[in-house]
Amino acid sequence: MAGRTDDTDRGVAGVKGVAGIFLTFAVRNLRRHWVRSGLAALGIVIGVAAIATLGILGNNLIILFSGLVADVSDTVVVTPHLAAASGDPFDPRSALAGGLTERDLDRIERAVGPYQAVPLFQTAELLERGRKKGYVPVIVIHHDDIPVLLDVEDGALPPSSGKSVLVGSLLAEEAEVRAGGRINLGGEDVRVAGVLEERGMGIDINPDYAVVVTHGWYTERHPEPAYDRVVVKVTDLGDIPAVKKAIADQFNRRKEVVDVQDSREILELFYQTYDAISIFLLGIGGVALLVAGVSILNVMIISVTERFHEIGVMRSIGARRTEVMRMFLYEALILGVAGSLIGGAVSTVAGMAVTASVAETVFAGYGTVPTGLGPDGIGSVLLGMGFGLGTSLLSGVYPAWKASRLDPIEALRYE
**Per-residue pLDDT reduced to its tens digit, 34-86:** 887 788 788 888 888 888 887 777 777 776 666 555 555 678 889 888 754 55
* Least confident among 6-20, 170-184, 315-329: 6-20
More confident residue, 135 or 322: 135
Yes or no: say if 302 and 347 are a contact pair by the CB < 8 Å rule. Answer: no
Average pLDDT, the chain: 79
pLDDT digits (tens, 9 = 90+) for 386-415: 888 888 888 888 888 888 887 777 766 665
Confidence check: pLDDT of 131 > 70? yes
Tell me the β-bridge partners of 27: none
What is the average per-residue pLDDT within 261-272?
A: 75
Q: What is the pLDDT of residue 12?
A: 43
What is the average per-residue pLDDT within 157-167?
A: 88
Confidence check: pLDDT of 374 > 80? no
Q: What is the pLDDT of residue 19?
A: 63
Q: What angle do CA 80, 202, 160 make, to 5 degrees?
A: 75
DSSP 239: G
% of the chain residues with pLDDT over 70: 82
pLDDT-derived band at 190, boundaries 50, 70, 90 = very high
More confident residue, 37 or 363: 37
Confidence check: pLDDT of 193 > 90? yes
Q: What is the pLDDT of residue 4?
A: 45
Yes or no: say if 328 and 400 are a contact pair by the CB < 8 Å rule. Answer: yes
More confident residue, 327 or 109: 109
pLDDT-derived band at 236, boundaries 50, 70, 90 = confident
Confidence check: pLDDT of 270 > 50? yes
Q: Is 188 helix (H, G, I), strand (E, B) or coil?
A: strand
Cα(318)–Cα(168) distance, integer angstroms: 82
Q: Where are the alpha helices (DSSP H) in 204-239?
A: 215-219
pLDDT digits (tens, 9 = 90+) for 274-322: 778 778 777 877 787 788 788 778 877 887 777 777 778 877 887 788 8
Cα(292)–Cα(288) distance, integer angstroms: 6
pLDDT-derived band at 370, boundaries 50, 70, 90 = low
* Least confident among 58-72, 140-154, 243-257: 58-72
More confident residue, 121 or 15: 121
Whole-model pTM: value is 0.58
Comparing CA positions, the residue from 256, 261, 257 lying closest to residue 103 is: 257
What is the average per-residue pLDDT within 327-340?
A: 85
pLDDT digits (tens, 9 = 90+) for 344-355: 888 888 877 777
Q: Provide CB contacts within 8 A for 365, sequence distance 6+.
A: 170, 209
- Whole-number Cα distances in Å, 411 to 30, 69, 98, 305, 316: 21, 68, 81, 10, 10
Confidence check: pLDDT of 212 > 90? yes
Most confident of 53-57, 79-83, 235-239, 364-368: 235-239
